Amino acid sequence: MKSAEQEIEAGERFAFGANWQAFLKTLNEDRIQIAEESLKELLLEQDLQGKTFVDIGSGSGLFSLCARRLGAKVHSFDFDPQSVACTNELRSRYFPDDEDWVVETGSALDEDYLKSLGKYDIVYSWGVLHHTGDMWQAVENTLLLTKPDSKVALAIYNDQGLRSSFWLQVKKMYCSGTIGRYAMLILFIPYFSLRLVVASIIRRRNEFATYRRHRGMSATHDWIDWLGGLPFEVAKTDEIRIFYEVRKFKLLNIKKTRGLGCNQFMFQRER
């Protein structure tokens, strides 16, 4: 298996960790509280006291931080070393030397590693498994971390058919090298910005500020993540639902997108 750095160098993977490091410069208490509320809403939980939480692909570390603030014992891991560094940075900022928050390098496709982690009350992976290069194997591997009554919360890119195929080509161009990256940025960032400006005028509110209300995220960093996000796979909501239901997981929460973003799911394993 290639390392994250080797895949990035080969144009097969977006530098997710570098983008997250830039995002952390914008992180403040307001964003953290918004992210925390979104986590509670997805999990249908008001606190996580006494629970164990594994964050598959922790990225910036923001939602690992939220889970720890809500009282969970957290295990975070990511394939990208820079993402691991981001998560460690948040741990150092907010929970220094905390034995109840472990941060490691690991892959959602490494079954031996996953089996070594044990079982968790909450298995969380938001917008990650479709970036592994083998999405369905990664989805299957989430089961290795569950026990009776475990909750599995995940977000997977919505399958939009030809539109998804178009964006795959954009991502390949972005990751092809410096020329491709700047070409995609010059072409699409003004387009994304204009859409928010028009929406702000129509709705008579600042949509750039409103975007932050979506899980505490940053519009510009999300746009760059979207343009470059290789590997890239998609799934229809029924495909994810049926996958878990035939394996005796009950769908407790779903948030569908009408476009190219992520569908969000929360399942609970039946006894």
Q: What is residue 204's predicted lDDT score, i.e. its pLDDT?
A: 80
Q: 0.75 cut: is pTM over it?
A: yes
Options 3.90.79.10, 3.40.50.11290, 3.40.50.150, 3.10.290.10; CATH for 4-159+234-269 is 3.40.50.150
Res 217: pLDDT: 79
- Of 196, 204, 218, 205, which is closest to residue 30 (Cα–Cα)? 218
Domain residue extents for the chain = 4-159+234-269, 162-228
- B/e letters for 185-205, b = 16+ CB within 10 Å, e = fewer, are eeebeeebeeebeeeeeeeee
pLDDT in tens, the chain (271 residues): 789 999 999 999 999 999 999 999 999 999 999 999 999 999 999 999 999 999 999 999 999 999 999 999 999 999 999 999 999 999 999 999 999 999 999 999 999 999 999 999 999 999 999 999 999 999 999 999 999 999 999 999 999 999 999 999 999 999 999 999 999 999 999 999 998 888 778 878 776 666 666 777 788 889 999 999 999 999 999 999 999 999 999 999 999 998 889 999 999 999 8
117 secondary structure, DSSP code: T
